[in-house]
Amino acid sequence: MKEDEDVRDARVHSETEDKVGYGKPPVHSRFKPGNPGRPKGSRKRSFSLSEIISEAMTRRRKVRRGDRVVSMQVAEIFIERLISMATTGSPSDMTKVLTMIAKNAPNLLAAPEIEARITYHRAPGSNVELPPTDLWVAPKEPKR
């Protein structure tokens, strides 16, 4: 039995010895079966705070909308809830949302100019004076 193993080892050694090269180290220096090259594995990568926040905000979560379940990014859910709190919450919440919008999406706060016409009617039997007609006329800008 011992002789068979020696013969087999000699045969394996002679067959693999000529196949030494890139990615094929000599038999005596190869890892033994069950012995990995790096027992502790590769080093763990460290993340910066901005990478962690970015990854967390782009992750998708499921949110219930009435009777449906919708998949949304965490950032979208965050903004929706923040706006909901601002519209139903305290003035400080509203200020935070408006500041964030003014900084990141100022075009959302820009409203188009609209022309409004105001017509006053005196109620029958009323003796209240109507306001002057030039009350709502915008002052003219000085020429430069």
pLDDT, position 139: 64
Q: Which residues, given as ranges, of the chain have pLDDT below 70?
A: 1-18, 109, 111, 136-144
- The CA–CA distances, whole Å, from 88 to 38, 49, 64, 100, 143 equal 57, 31, 20, 17, 44
17, two tokens: 């010895």
Burial 87-97 (b: 16+ CB within 10 A, else e): eeeeeebeeeb
Query: What is the pLDDT at residue 62?
Result: 94
pLDDT at 2: 59
DSSP code for 7: H
Model pTM above 0.85: no
pLDDT at 3: 61
Half-sphere exposure of 79 (CA within 13 A, CB side): 12
The confidence score (pLDDT) of residue 60 equals 94
Per-domain boundaries in the chain: 50-107
Q: Are strands 68-73 and 60-65 parallel, antiparallel or unpaired?
A: antiparallel
* E strand residue ranges, 18-79: 60-65, 68-73
Residue-level pLDDT at 68 = 92
